[in-house]
Structure 1
Amino acid sequence: MGNESTPISDELRAKRATSFGGAAAAYAEHRPDYPVSAVRWGLSGAVKAPVNVLDLAAGTGKLTTTLVELGLTVTAVEPDEQMLAELRRRLPAITALDGHAERIPLGAASVDAVFVGQAFHWFDTGPALDEISRVLRPGGVLVPLWNYDDLSVPWVSEFGELLGTPTGRTWAAAAAGLPDHPDFAPSEQETFRHKQRRTAESLVRTLGTHSHVLAAPSEKRAAILRTAQEFLASRPETASGEFDRPIIVTAFRARRR
């Protein structure tokens, strides 16, 4: 499937990976959702049309919502207590469980697809793929997705250069595919265009939910957000009113042998 890159130290990686809980409500409000086209592409990689789906590391349910809207039976698994509480508050009808990618609280061969939104780069990939393989039925599909800014748009590229690159974008950009595992066929990759309606204020709030901002010391975090506000106020595309934040969705899929 390919090789995983490690763009940051293990200590910083661990700090960033556990930084989201305190911002759970803001994450739910300000992070973008996922396009139906990307989810359907992932589902189409399975031998049979999936019915029972796992949203692994589901966070506050951004991807879970799209899966539910497609009529799938969804189980969400999330390790962070505050993120899980927010997911349960927003989606009370679904099964939402405390668990990790490396210890999934489901039975063997119990789901037809496993989706991972904006989180696969945080996993200990060897044990995680072992567990994902265990819960996936043969012919089922693993589908990690990432939402990231479309850097082909000049103001978006300048915004990113000024404020730093999220960890997941670094991983997704460097990966030729998902890590190799004997239980999975070689992965496929596709990209999709997406957008999020924002104002300058709400885009700054979105930035504030990214791990490289959440994990920064308070003074540095404040400086990053202040710089973002000043930049957005200086650009005609973003200075006043609502605008579309252009997004590229990177999707991988790998079928369970």
Structure 2
Amino acid sequence: MTEQLLRSSFGTAAAAYAEHRPDYARAAVRWALEPAPGLRVLDLGAGTGKLSATLVALGADVVSVEPDPAMLTELRRALPSVRALAGSAEAIPLPDASVDAVLAGNALHWFDMAAAGPEMARVLTPGGVLAGLWNIMDDRIDWVAALEGVSGSAAIGPRDTLRSWRTATRDMLVPRTGSSAPFGSTEQVEFPHGQRRSADSLVATLATRAGMLVMPQAERAATLGRIRAFLASRPETALGEFTLPMLTGVLRTRRR
């Protein structure tokens, strides 16, 4: 299964992504922006605008860039006042030194950093912030850890849980061979978060993961069936709504 196939899968479920994916903990977004010299922010790989909406609520001047037409349509529908452009991390449609921060919500791992690193450095002002944010499930909670085992890596992958996200993301902003992106050292911090879910809506959320979207239909149905049966068997999730224990993890660096 190629990275390109996974990366391009989200447009097939853009409406479901917009409905079911969580927003980001505001404390995490504030921390990501904390050292930025201003509030001109690029949301890169913006998807349907989950992170853009939080940035707007915090008073940032946001421009959103997204390569998938279906995802971009959902973003423009949800946030008509935000400047939303077609483009990619490897070819950002903005001038040099035009933003104070580049943030990527659940997207940085899809970038080709050999090309995207220099591009992100190009559009940032000196001292500007580059940060990746991920919503991760808190698998210190017993039922969440058990759900991970039932779901499999296609639904809950190595960047999706607290125990694994630091290892899976810590080197993403280290310049690759041939890259001249002038970034400094990185920091990783997690912030408490949560999402109100029912069993049905949590199943729908997990169904929007890239690995699930590219599964053969029969295998996908079987996996979602196992997840549904597990949630029905647990007292924490069987009756009505519950709060899915989450955190927003942030990986941050600065342009020199």
Same fold by TM-score, threshold 0.5 exceeded?
A: yes
Q: Offset of 1:167 from its aligned partner?
A: 5.5
Contact 1:177 1:252 in 2 (8 A): no
| Unpaired runs of at least 5, structure 2 | 176-180
2:124: which partner in 1? 136
CA distance in 2, matches of 1:225, 1:100: 31
1:7: which partner in 2? none
1:59: which partner in 2? 47
C-alpha distance after superposition, 1:61-111 (max 9, x if no partner)? 000000000111100000000000000001011100000100000000000
1:98: which partner in 2? 86
CA distance in 1, matches of 2:13, 2:234: 28
Task: For 1:1-257, list aligned pairs within 5 A.
Answer: 11-46=1-36, 48=37, 50-165=38-153, 166=157, 168-169=159-160, 172-181=166-175, 182-257=181-256
CA distance in 1, matches of 2:71, 2:54: 17
The one-letter code sitting in structure 2 at the alignment partner of 1:179 is L
Q: TM-score, normalised by structure 2?
A: 0.92
The one-letter code sitting in structure 2 at the alignment partner of 1:180 is V
Q: TM-score, normalised by structure 1?
A: 0.92
Q: Offset of 1:51 from its aligned partner?
A: 1.6
**SS of 1:156's equivalent?**
helix
**SS of 2:133's equivalent?**
strand
User: Identity of aligned pairs, percent?
Assistant: 51
CA distance in 2, matches of 1:35, 1:54: 18
The one-letter code sitting in structure 1 at the alignment partner of 2:139 is L
CA distance in 1, matches of 2:140, 2:23: 21
**SS of 1:92's equivalent?**
coil
- With a CA cutoff of 8 Å and minimum separation of 6, indicate the structure with the bigger relative contact order: 1
Q: Offset of 1:14 from its aligned partner?
A: 1.8
Contact 2:22 2:50 in 1 (8 A): yes
Contact 1:178 1:187 in 2 (8 A): no
CA distance in 2, matches of 1:115, 1:175: 15
CA distance in 2, matches of 1:237, 1:85: 36
Measured at CA, do residues 195 and 116 of structure 1 come closer, stay the same or move farther in structure 2, by a change above 3 Å?
Answer: same
**SS of 1:109's equivalent?**
coil
**SS of 1:193's equivalent?**
strand
State the Cα RMSD in Å: 1.3
Measured at CA, do residues 53 and 142 of structure 1 come closer, stay the same or move farther in structure 2, by a change above 3 Å?
Answer: same
